[in-house]
Structure 1
Amino acid sequence: MKQILLLFTVLVSSVLHAQTTGYKINIDVKGLPEKCEVFLKDFETTTEINKGVLVGGKGTLQGQMENAPRLLFLTLYTGSETYWCNFMIDAEEVTIQAATKDFPFHVKVQGSAVQDVFSKLNTELADNRTLRDSLFAYAKTIMTNADKKAELKRLVREMAVIDSMEIVTKKEFVESNLQSYPAVLELFLVRSSYEKAEVAALFLQLSETLKQSAYGVKLKNYLGIEKIVAKGDKAFAFSAQDKDGNIHPFPEANGKYVLLDFTKDYCAPCVASVKELKEISTKYKDRLAVVSFSPDEKQGWLKGLQRDQPSWLNLWDGKGTAGPVILNYGVQAYPTFLLIDPSGTVVAKSVGYSAGSLQTMLKSFL
């Protein structure tokens, strides 16, 4: 009888556990065509979690979620238009009711206490983010127009002001909502805007549950870094694998400069930089080695290599954005480039990409 009761308890426990780790996302979007593809990805690793088809703008995605709550990225693809939004949910059932005009910053997600907290921040940032996107879209159209240089500089200044305002808003949100998963995530994302001792003080105030969460672990790893590599410092040494699984030490003593490229598969500026990286790797092959490093999940990394066909060394360590390589080099945006001289010293750093920017970075050294 005891064995039967024990078995019953285990079965009930298993069912309850399965329910608590499952998610269900009900989607109802107005303005879509009769059929539309929908993709759900982990926001940071870009790992595809689920996919399906919306019929008449309606559909459901459900499955299992690890390390919940997680920041998720939802994409709707009609064949000619793409709509996206992100949200943070636990393993739970939520509903997305929106119109296409609401994407990406005004989409409402109902049914999640975690997302309710996150929505406070997103609602406050929505209008400025919409404005910034419009400024950036226009800037891209005049980027190569020599007659528009002054206007382009003005747009860059305006976007920088919006970015600065967003950081202030995020810090206020973190400090007002510290005992929440969204605040822990945002604290990690804006960590460089704090003194490290301030981050440590905020981390110590977190509950043990938040400290052990996926984003709490990222903060803990960051706090364990003694010093972020800066210009004039020796390069952080590490080992990582290439696409064939061979392990390579970095940096290798080969008497050359090294251009270290931090890249992501889904990052448009990263993809745009590939053409110039190919030119550089050929033009300076006797004096420069290009090495790319990706924090993506493995399939995304390999997919990007298949698409871009780089001729230089590409490395991956499987530890993502909270791994020692990304944290020691202080990478928070992609692409990020570091130029390392033959002695192993970082002599230049550049964040972002525009046509010709890498040639400009190298001309003082090669």
Structure 2
Amino acid sequence: MLLRKLIKIILVTIPVFFFLTLMSCKSDNKIKEDNTFSIKGTINRYDFKNIEVELHQAIDERGRPEKTQTTQMRNGEFVFEGKIEHPAFASIIFYEGDTIKYTFNFFNEAKNINLSVELPLDFKPVRLPAFNNLDYNAAGSPKTSEYKEYLKLYRDFFENSKTLQKKLQVADNDYYDALFSKEPDSALIKQKKFKNDSLKAVWLSLEKEFKKQYALKNKESVISLHVLLNEYGPKLFDGSFEVPEINNILEELKSLKEVPLYKSTRARYTSIVGLKIGDKAPDFSLENPSGEIISLSGFKGKYVLIDFWAYYCGPCIAKIPKLKKTYAKYKDQGLEIIGIHGDKNAKKWLGVIKKHQQTWPQVIDKNAFKENSAVIKYGVQGFPAVFMVDPEGNLIEKNIANDDLENILIKIFKN
């Protein structure tokens, strides 16, 4: 009954908004001929002292924002100028020293944009969930207006699901209470886990359908791509969507095919369906810390464990000690490991290698998530991602779980 009721709420609420946004998004993809943008911002908090303002903008193929500009706020005002080819997800962050005072998300585009932030008197300097940070206006940015409407719609959807959220919270607490009890009861743990997982599945199913319906009703808007790839909740490549479903969605959004985010998304999909166990492992030629070019083909005759990782990935760093033991145990038996850093930040990459003394070959994929990068060729959706290649260069294992690695190696080197 709960699932049916929530779906009914969604189906009743969404169509009106979808009609309005569909009518507005057909013309706002146009950009200024010189691709320039100008952001002039004001904030009503004069008690913010020595404030540094950062503009973070999605400049990589995954649509994730990176810091692109920094300025000082003067008399409650700040300015950013630059060039942008397509509308892109962005954030404004206000810093006082190392403390974040306020942040909000918007969409930057090649227009003259006036941002004005009106914070309530009882505002406290904490970083709130983005769908609550709506205390700003963005005159001159149709995409931001559209994005804010999405956030409001998501907030309403979330509020209408409060009953389910409360049940899920209770089930979650009950499960962990049973799991960490002084006298664990395996039958009780199993029962509580089943209930918790079942409620999570209901919520994720609703959230997935909400995001999918938004995208399909706003096919010509880059907001739809962002929602499916980077907003809260289920995402295209986190296992929530079936592979054929991803293809169908991308076909529906193909009017965005010239947008870099669409191109990289299509490439990621192609790599997922294209690379299979038994296929020839895609070759790559990437720089090691000394600037030398390392290629997979140079390790023919050995079993090669390809470890995709990134400096900001906690699980990647956590498994380094285990990889050290693995390398020491199997290196002389014919195993090689190649670590591929899937981020262009070479300084951070080198820092991790030095700190953790990773002695196996390391290379950096500076074009990660761009077409023809190693990350894309192997269909990497997130880090860590581990693959095994046999001495003939064939892929024999993909997406190896940390706990499964030793058993795979025992099987390979049992003789």
State yes or no: 1:303 paired with 2:330.
no
**More displaced, 189-198 or 258-267?**
189-198
Find the residue that maps to 1:321 and give its secondary structure. Answer: coil
Where do residues 90-239 of structure 1 align in structure 2 (5 Å cutoff)? 90-91=109-110, 92-93=112-113, 94-98=115-119, 99=123, 100-101=125-126, 103-105=128-130, 106-108=132-134, 109-111=136-138, 112-125=141-154, 127=158, 150=189, 162-186=203-227, 190=236, 193-195=242-244, 197-199=247-249, 201-204=251-254, 206=255, 210-219=256-265, 221-222=267-268, 227-239=273-285
Alignment counterpart, residue 108 of structure 2, candidates 74, 89, 94: 89
Q: Which runs of 5+ in 1 are unaligned?
A: 1-15, 352-356
TM-score norm. by structure 1 comes to 0.70
Alignment counterpart, residue 55 of structure 2, candidates 20, 31, 40: 40
What is the Cα deviation at residue 174 of structure 1? 1.1
Match of 1:335 in 2: 384
TM-score norm. by structure 2 comes to 0.63
What is the Cα deviation at residue 187 of structure 1? 5.5
Residue by residue over 1:60-93, the C-alpha shift from the partner in whole angstroms, topping out at 9 and shown as x without a partner, is 2513133331122455555366866543221342
Q: Which runs of 5+ in 2 are unaligned?
A: 1-31, 230-234, 411-415
RMSD of equivalent CA atoms:
4.4
State yes or no: 1:64 paired with 2:93.
no
**More displaced, 305-314 or 224-233?**
224-233
Match of 2:370 in 1: 322
Quick check: 1:261–1:338 contact (8 Å CA) kept in 2? Answer: yes
Q: Using the alignment, how far apart are the partners of 1:29 and 1:333 within structure 2? A: 40
Residue by residue over 1:191-235, the C-alpha shift from the partner in whole angstroms, topping out at 9 and shown as x without a partner, is 66452652453244x1xxx33222233245457659432445442
Quick check: 1:235–1:340 contact (8 Å CA) kept in 2? Answer: yes
The residue identity in structure 2 corresponding to 1:115 is T
Match of 1:22 in 2: 37
Find the residue that maps to 1:218 and give its secondary structure. Answer: helix
Where do residues 282-293 of structure 1 align in structure 2 (5 Å cutoff)? 282-286=328-332, 287-293=334-340
Residue by residue over 1:268-290, the C-alpha shift from the partner in whole angstroms, topping out at 9 and shown as x without a partner, is 43344444444444444334333
Q: Using the alignment, how far apart are the partners of 2:395 and 2:347 within structure 1? A: 28
Match of 1:3 in 2: none
What is the Cα deviation at residue 181 of structure 1? 1.5
The residue identity in structure 2 corresponding to 1:311 is T
Change in CA separation of 1:291 and 1:104 when aligned onto 2, cut-off 3 Å: farther
Change in CA separation of 1:125 and 1:224 when aligned onto 2, cut-off 3 Å: same
Quick check: 1:121–1:170 contact (8 Å CA) kept in 2? Answer: no
Q: Using the alignment, how far apart are the partners of 2:93 and 2:352 within structure 1? A: 21
What is the Cα deviation at residue 175 of structure 1? 0.4
Change in CA separation of 1:301 and 1:364 when aligned onto 2, cut-off 3 Å: same
Quick check: 2:103–2:127 contact (8 Å CA) kept in 1? Answer: no
State yes or no: 1:260 paired with 2:316.
no
Q: Using the alignment, how far apart are the partners of 2:194 and 2:394 within structure 1? A: 32
**More displaced, 211-220 or 120-129?**
120-129
Find the residue that maps to 1:323 and give its secondary structure. Answer: coil
Which structure has the bigger radius of gyration? 2
Q: Using the alignment, how far apart are the partners of 1:292 and 1:202 within structure 2? A: 37
The residue identity in structure 2 corresponding to 1:328 is K
Change in CA separation of 1:49 and 1:335 when aligned onto 2, cut-off 3 Å: same
The residue identity in structure 2 corresponding to 1:41 is H
**More displaced, 104-113 or 222-231?**
222-231
The residue identity in structure 1 corresponding to 2:377 is N
